[in-house]
Structure 1
Amino acid sequence: MLAPLPTIIENFEFMDEWEDRYAYVIELGREMPRLPPERCTEENRVHGCESQVWLESRLDESGGKPILTLEGESDSSITRGLVALMIAIYAGKSPEEIAATDGLDVFRQLDFSNHITSKRAGGLRAMNERIQREAHKLSA
């Protein structure tokens, strides 16, 4: 189970070295539940990522307030950690809340833009756009 976003941000802020931050990103990916292979479909694949990335979303209305539940997978350990962080950003939010949130703000806050490749940054944008599209579709 992933740690809540405030805990993840706090942990990042304690780390001065980017080598430690990358190790933490990889650990986040290890902690994220695996998406079963049969759900790693073309329909769930995120295009625009250097690595293979799959995101599956569904509306969960069991708790009264509808929330968009996200699950993800990647074939790269660092990218899997970035997927986990993106999922943590949107965890527990309704489609309307997600549509009003820019998940990339957290990555900017943590200074990822200066420490990841342009291809990985493009992959983060692609993941965020995918989640935003799903949220807009479900909130309409």
Structure 2
Amino acid sequence: MTRSHHEHPAFEELVEDFEFLDDWEDRYRHVIDQGREMDALDESLRVPATKVDGCASQVWLHAEMRDGALHFDGASDAMIVSGLIAVLRKLYNGLKPSEVMAVDARAQMARLGLNDHLSAQRSNGLTAMIERVRETAAASV
């Protein structure tokens, strides 16, 4: 398989992990584990400006461009959503704005087999988080 120029090694590693997990329960648990391993978002960043609307749970995303690359952190009061944030961080962190815009996040998430099993609300929340990341990148293209 050929690697495209903006593929993220950390995300590719995750895709490989997921290939070993046959059933949805295991994948779900693995996503939650990703969230648990993530550093906690500083309380000072849990403010209305970083809150993401459109999610059933509370979600905060702090995205910024540093040295020409995207860095984002996040938190949620729902374990599965924290996990999705961790997964998106693996997909996006460290990319240049143009690379962020080139990522087809839905297609990448589909490689993890996550699209089919998320409830409509979770799916909308995921879309809202992806939009927030893209807005941050678009603002600095």
Using the size of structure 1 for normalisation, the TM-score is 0.90
Residue number in structure 2 paired with 1:10: 16
Which residue, 85, 97, 100 being the options, matches 1:98? 100
Residue number in structure 2 paired with 1:49: 55
Structure 1 stretches lacking a partner, 5+ long: none
Query: What amino acid sits opposite 1:113 in the alignment?
Result: N
Whole-angstrom distance in 2 between the partners of 1:50 and 1:113: 17
CA contact (8 A) 1:28 1:84 kept: yes
Structure 2 stretches lacking a partner, 5+ long: 1-8
> Counterpart of 2:35 in 1: which secondary structure?
helix
CA contact (8 A) 2:35 2:84 kept: yes
Residue number in structure 1 paired with 2:28: 22
Aligned positions of 1:113-124 closer than 5 A = 113-124=115-126
Whole-angstrom distance in 1 between the partners of 2:57 and 2:16: 27
Cα deviation for residue 102 of structure 1 reads 2.0
Residue number in structure 1 paired with 2:136: 134
Query: What amino acid sits opposite 2:84 in the alignment?
Result: L
Residue number in structure 1 paired with 2:6: none
Q: CA RMSD in A?
A: 1.2
Using the size of structure 2 for normalisation, the TM-score is 0.90
> Counterpart of 1:93 in 2: which secondary structure?
coil
Residue number in structure 1 paired with 2:4: none
Whole-angstrom distance in 2 between the partners of 1:101 and 1:19: 27
CA contact (8 A) 1:4 1:88 kept: yes
Query: What amino acid sits opposite 1:51 in the alignment?
Result: S
CA contact (8 A) 1:104 1:124 kept: no
Query: What amino acid sits opposite 2:101 in the alignment?
Result: A
CA displacement 1:69-104 (0-9 Å, x = unmatched):
111110111110011101111021011110121222
Residue number in structure 1 paired with 2:3: none
Percent identity over the alignment?
37
Whole-angstrom distance in 1 between the partners of 2:90 and 2:106: 12
